[in-house]
């Protein structure tokens, strides 16, 4: 009996260390949930660079050229116990450009199951749709890259506050997990942890979860946009990379396209973290 009890104890300990399996996906769920870092006064600085390349008549992609000077944005946790209306115990992030003073705020709840955005200020819930034709796509892309924070939100100096609950991360972070983020009718993003990848930060290899975003709009799957977030549970968002491919080159004279196509690429890279 003592021998059997000892074996049973070892089995229980072994299973608890491994975690249990999700019955639907078969994914092993760890017992201890590691969460996105939300320590008070933590500050992140990101450098965002945007490039555009042109396809020739044979479909060959030319060299990337810098669309405009790189930008720097600052994210800082200014409170870990904030409230807005009836929502309590929220983490408040302040977002700003390094060279400018306007600040917008995001309020998150970092629970044991999700990292969820509860509310935000500074802009309306409008997302850029790359399939919309523009008379000058280069001006459109400059506006997009100039006003895009690393979390993918359009920047504005408007100080209005909006409630919009969105699951940014679903815990625990394990390869194979996926969840949907709904923004409007017939518009949602499916996020999937497709693997892990080593990224370099301050000369050190950092293991990150590779989270791919797949966009769905009213007319179906958006095959133009390829977006990945590389997230470390120690450092937070280490890099976001967005590629919008096969954008038609249009002009005022040719609003439906000149027959030429562009590829847009934007990377937001963590260059400093402090707390």
Q: What mean pLDDT comes out for the span 6-34?
A: 49
Torsion of CA 114, 119, 121, 125, to 10 degrees: 90
Report yes or no on 205 lying in a domain: yes
Q: What mean pLDDT comes out for the span 224-238?
A: 94
Residue 145: what pLDDT?
Answer: 62
Residue 204 pairs with which residues in a beta bridge?
201
> What is the tens place of the pLDDT at every residue in 30-48?
456 799 999 999 999 999 9
Report yes or no on 28 lying in a domain: no
Report yes or no on 30 lying in a domain: no
Return the higher-pLDDT residue of 53 and 16. Answer: 53
3 state DSSP class of 230: strand
Residue 160: what pLDDT?
Answer: 63
Which of these ranges, 60-74, 83-97, 155-169, has the smallest mean pLDDT?
155-169
Report yes or no on 32 lying in a domain: no
Beta-carbon contacts of 155 under 8 Å, excluding residues fewer than 6 positions away, are 95, 97, 102, 104, 122, 123, 147, 148, 149
Do 177 and 191 meet the contact criterion of CB atoms below 8 Å apart? no
Q: What mean pLDDT comes out for the span 85-110?
A: 84
Report yes or no on 114 lying in a domain: yes
* Model confidence at 177: pLDDT above 50: yes
Residue 143: what pLDDT?
Answer: 58
Q: Which secondary structure element, helix H or strand E, spans residue 164, and what is its range?
A: strand 161-170
Which of these ranges, 20-24, 105-109, 129-133, 219-223, has the smallest mean pLDDT?
129-133
Nearest 5°: the CA angle 118, 121, 126 is 90
Distances (CA, A) of 16 to 114, 197, 233: 22, 27, 21
* Model confidence at 235: pLDDT above 70: yes
Q: Report the C-alpha gap between 69 and 151 in whole angstroms.
A: 20
pTM for the model: 0.79
Percent of the chain with pLDDT over 70: 72
Q: Report the C-alpha gap between 218 and 240 in whole angstroms.
A: 25
* Model confidence at 7: pLDDT above 50: no
Q: What mean pLDDT comes out for the span 86-92?
A: 93
Torsion of CA 208, 210, 213, 214, to 10 degrees: 180
Q: What mean pLDDT comes out for the span 157-167?
A: 72
Work out how many domains the chain is built from and give that number.
1
Beta-carbon contacts of 118 under 8 Å, excluding residues fewer than 6 positions away, are 84, 87, 90, 107, 108, 109, 163, 165
Report yes or no on 35 lying in a domain: no
Residue 218 pairs with which residues in a beta bridge?
none
Q: Which secondary structure element, helix H or strand E, spans residue 91, and what is its range?
A: strand 87-97
Report yes or no on 109 lying in a domain: yes
Alpha-carbon torsion (139, 142, 146, 147), positive or negative = positive
Task: Tell me which residue range forms the domain holding 104.
Answer: 40-274
Q: Look over the chain and give the mean of its residue pLDDT values, rounded to a whole number.
A: 80
List the CATH number of the domain containing 186: 2.40.360
Report yes or no on 31 lying in a domain: no
3 state DSSP class of 7: helix
Q: pLDDT tier at 218 (50, 70, 90 boundaries)? A: confident
Residue 256: what pLDDT?
Answer: 78
Return the higher-pLDDT residue of 233 and 67. Answer: 233
Q: Report the C-alpha gap between 185 and 44 in whole angstroms.
A: 33
Residue 183: what pLDDT?
Answer: 78
Distances (CA, A) of 211 to 72, 220, 264: 23, 21, 20
Most confident range (mean pLDDT) of 127-131, 133-137, 146-150 is: 133-137
Distances (CA, A) of 65 to 60, 138, 181, 207, 262: 15, 12, 33, 30, 11
Residue 5: what pLDDT?
Answer: 45
């Amino acid at each position: 009996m003592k021998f059997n009890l000892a074996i049973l104890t070892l089995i229980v300990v072994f299973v608890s260390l491994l975690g249990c399996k999700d019955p639907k996906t078969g994914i092993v769920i760890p017992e201890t949930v590691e969460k996105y870092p939300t320590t008070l006064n933590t500050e992140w600085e990101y450098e965002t660079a945007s490039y555009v390349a042109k396809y020739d008549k044979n479909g060959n992609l030319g060299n990337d050229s810098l669309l405009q000077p790189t930008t720097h944005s600052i994210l800082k946790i200014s409170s870990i116990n904030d409230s807005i209306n009836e929502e309590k115990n929220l983490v408040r992030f302040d977002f700003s450009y390094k060279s400018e003073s306007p600040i917008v705020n995001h309020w998150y709840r970092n629970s044991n199951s999700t990292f969820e955005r509860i509310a935000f200020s500074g802009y309306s819930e409008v997302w850029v749709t790359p399939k919309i034709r523009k008379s000058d796509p280069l001006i459109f892309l400059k506006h997009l890259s100039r006003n895009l924070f690393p979390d993918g939100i359009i920047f504005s100096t408007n100080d209005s506050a909006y409630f919009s609950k969105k699951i940014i991360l679903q815990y625990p972070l394990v390869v194979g997990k996926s969840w949907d983020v709904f923004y409007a009718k017939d518009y949602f993003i499916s996020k999937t942890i497709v693997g892990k990848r080593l990224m370099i930060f301050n000369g050190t290899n950092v293991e990150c979860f590779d989270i791919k975003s797949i966009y769905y709009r009213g007319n179906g799957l958006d095959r133009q946009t390829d977006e990945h977030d590389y997230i470390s549970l120690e450092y937070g968002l280490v890099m976001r990379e967005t590629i919008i491919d096969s954008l038609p080159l249009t002009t005022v004279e040719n609003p439906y396209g000149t027959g030429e196509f562009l590829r847009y690429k934007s990377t937001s890279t963590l260059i400093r973290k402090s707390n």
